[in-house]
Amino acid sequence: MPLQHFLAHILNQLLAGPVTTLLNWIGRPPLNPAVPINGTFTMELIAVLLLLVFFVIVRLTLHVEKPGIAQQFAEMIEEFVTNQTEPIIGHKYRVYLPFITSVLLFILANNLLGLLPDVDTPTSSPVVPLGMALLTFAYYHWQGLKENKFGYVKQFLGPLWWIAPLMLPIELISHLARILSLTIRLFANMFASDLLILIFFALFPIALPVIFIGLHLGVSLIQAYVFMLLASIYIGQAIAHEH
């Protein structure tokens, strides 16, 4: 049995009842009440647990004079995200740093899980990129409203009142298209990477697939970075005061 399905089976044995009850309560009953947790969601949980373990290790080993390996790695991540987001968002970038860093690490962790044997990359399932896209969409709009109040809404109406009926649907479609763009870009690239590895492992099971494993690693890094960068751009545009 593939690893992700084996782990999903264990979770279903332990939690099928409560999860089915919860899904029924929110009006989304599972197709099979005995198996409400699939392999993709299981790997997402593993990604979250791995990140939590990393954060806990960093917190427990914090040291000003002699930082450990985990702390040094965390500081490298913080410095990298800062260097990428500060020029885009501006001096208030630190307010949004936790969200942007979490997006980067969560997507990267899910992408890299696809390197494990018998594991489909969670982000090669469209549900995962869609969930991250919707979360990003909701977050940057919320931050725009917090920062600019009604001034944020005015950006959807255009500079002149008499063109508002034309500008409003255009702006709405443009923002909704961001959800589609974020979802398809991440999903399509990770799905294609998984497919290439699968095909070449079937044809050449010894040496050549190693090249495509390296390619998967590169795609994983790039796609996590692109998603983070786009999230930063959207946040920066939402909180700007020239609306």
Residue 146 lies in a domain: yes
Centre a 10 Å sphere on the Cβ of residue 79 and count the other Cβ atoms it contains: 10
Number of domains in the chain: 1
Q: What is the rounded distance in angstroms from the CA atom of residue 214 to the CA atom of residue 61?
A: 32
Residue 30 lies in a domain: no
* Domain extent for 120: 90-239
In this predicted structure, what is the pLDDT of residue 209?
63
Counting Cα atoms < 13 Å in the Cβ hemisphere of 31 gives 2
Paired tokens of 226: 């692109």
Length of the chain: 243
Q: What is the rounded distance in angstroms from the CA atom of residue 155 to the CA atom of residue 150?
A: 9
In this predicted structure, what is the pLDDT of residue 242?
59
- In 3D space, the residue among 230, 197, 241 whose CA is nearest the CA of residue 103 turns out to be 230
> In the chain, which stretches have pLDDT less than 50?
243
Residue 32 lies in a domain: no
Residue 141 lies in a domain: yes
Residue 200 lies in a domain: yes
Residue 172 lies in a domain: yes
In this predicted structure, what is the pLDDT of residue 104?
97
pTM: 0.91
In this predicted structure, what is the pLDDT of residue 208?
58
Do 104 and 111 contact (CB within 8 A), yes or no? no
Q: Return the CA Rg of the chain.
A: 21
Residue 212 lies in a domain: yes
Paired tokens of 192: 């294609």
Q: What angle do CA 100, 116, 206 make, to 5 degrees?
A: 135
